[in-house]
Amino acid sequence: MDRYDVIVIGAGPAGSTTAYYAAKNKLNVLILEKKKEIGYPVQCGEFLPTVDEIREILPKVNNLGELFAIKEKLISKRTTSIKIFSSKRKCYELKFNGFSVERREFDKYLVEKAVKMGAELRTDVKVTGIDGHRVITNGGDFISKVIVGADGPFSKVAGWMGLRGPKKLSPCILCEIPGDFEPTVEMYFGSVAPGGYAWVIPKATGANIGLGVQKKSKVPLKSLLLKFLKSIDINAKPRFWSAGHVPVSGPIPQTVKGNVIVVGDAAGHVMATNGGGIPIAMICGRIAGNVIGRHINSESPLEDYETEWRQAVGRELKTALMTKRLADLSFKSDWTLDLAMRIMGTKRMDLSIKCKPIFGGWRTRKNGKGR
């Protein structure tokens, strides 16, 4: 049976980044991915903030430039602002620099980086269980000192380990529309996407348009999205449709157990206010890879992972969750939502997008663990 220092389950941004840093620490790394093609189908809005914006959102994370040195050719379209529309289509515009990517290529780029660093990749291999140091798959079993669950929002690894996976998942649908779109991200709130929002994210030759809702509704998501497209005067035929789920209940309470850690969507590493998960998955993936390196090379505790990611992003994720919970109270009707958005105004919307407390008095306990 093949033996490894680390087996990473899932080759999304969290898994590939963990594998890259573990390999950089001279470990023997295997990535197992159930899909035949990395990054496909695309289940993402494909939007990323620039490094400067990420620095403002997550000021405690060091060396962001190294992590997000993304090649220009992966950037589809740069954007300079976010327009937020209330249920009555009142527009609030915030300055915010970001860009869209081709996620299909982006995920391949991240995994290729890990492979170049020395990790081994096996695709079309589904992990079906874990038993101590044994990783059981449909293609045979493997042995590993440390096992990483980077297996996305429906994490089986978290479940097998008795770790409570993400509690709430927001169902989403998206499509890609051809055309020329302004360099502005648009977010629409209200009955267009009950309890969530609809988005328009410009790309080089079109836009990624989709919506996420709070919970599965009687109205099919596709009908909601078609209605939304009509409401913003889009008649072009979509290039493709896709769907997915975003964890919106904040980080899970425990992310290390025995020789197993979970990272990315599997650990609820997502900004609950906007569903952005790629930067957090990569930041926590880097922490995971480095902690596993120290654990195997110099016997430091694996639990350092839990402490370090909470120190880096815990407070901001907790603040985003509190804002989301507060916003949920106003989602009762288009009227209450419109009123709440007027009260918030552009300044507080900006704070909420950046995971900052929207009311001065809020405090979250150190490391984002409470309250």
Ligand X SMILES: Cc1cc2nc3c(=O)[nH]c(=O)nc-3n(C[C@H](O)[C@H](O)[C@H](O)COP(=O)(O)OP(=O)(O)OC[C@H]3O[C@@H](n4cnc5c(N)ncnc54)[C@H](O)[C@@H]3O)c2cc1C
Binder among 84, 115, 147, 150 for ligand X (CB under 6 A): 150
* Dihedral sign computed on CA atoms, order 133, 134, 137, 139: positive
Rg value, the chain, Cα: 20
47 makes contact with ligand X (CB under 6 A): yes
3-class secondary structure, 251? coil
Q: Which among 38-46, 65-73, 293-301, 355-363 is the span making contact with ligand X, rule CB under 6 A?
A: 38-46
The answer to whether 51 touches 181, Cβ cutoff 8 Å, is no
Binder among 88, 122, 126, 356 for ligand X (CB under 6 A): 126
Q: How far apart are CA 241 and CA 44, in angstroms?
A: 11
Taking the least distance from each CB to ligand X, the nearer of 45 and 251 is 45
Q: Which among 45-53, 60-68, 158-166, 250-258 is the span making contact with ligand X, rule CB under 6 A?
A: 45-53
CA 368 to chain centre: 18
Binder among 207, 278, 283, 312 for ligand X (CB under 6 A): 278
Q: What is the total count of residues that contact ligand X (CB under 6 A)?
A: 38
Smallest separation (angstroms) from ligand X to the CB of 123? 9
13 makes contact with ligand X (CB under 6 A): yes
Q: How far apart are CA 144 and CA 134, in angstroms?
A: 6
270 makes contact with ligand X (CB under 6 A): yes
Cα atoms found within 13 Å of the Cα of residue 91, Cβ hemisphere only: 8
The answer to whether 167 touches 28, Cβ cutoff 8 Å, is no
Query: Rule CB under 6 A: which of 199-218 touch ligand X?
Result: 210
11 makes contact with ligand X (CB under 6 A): yes
Residue whose structure tokens are 């290390």: 256
Q: Which residues bind ligand X (CB under 6 A)?
A: 9-15, 32-35, 43-48, 126-127, 150-152, 156, 172, 174, 210, 244-246, 264-266, 270, 275-278, 281
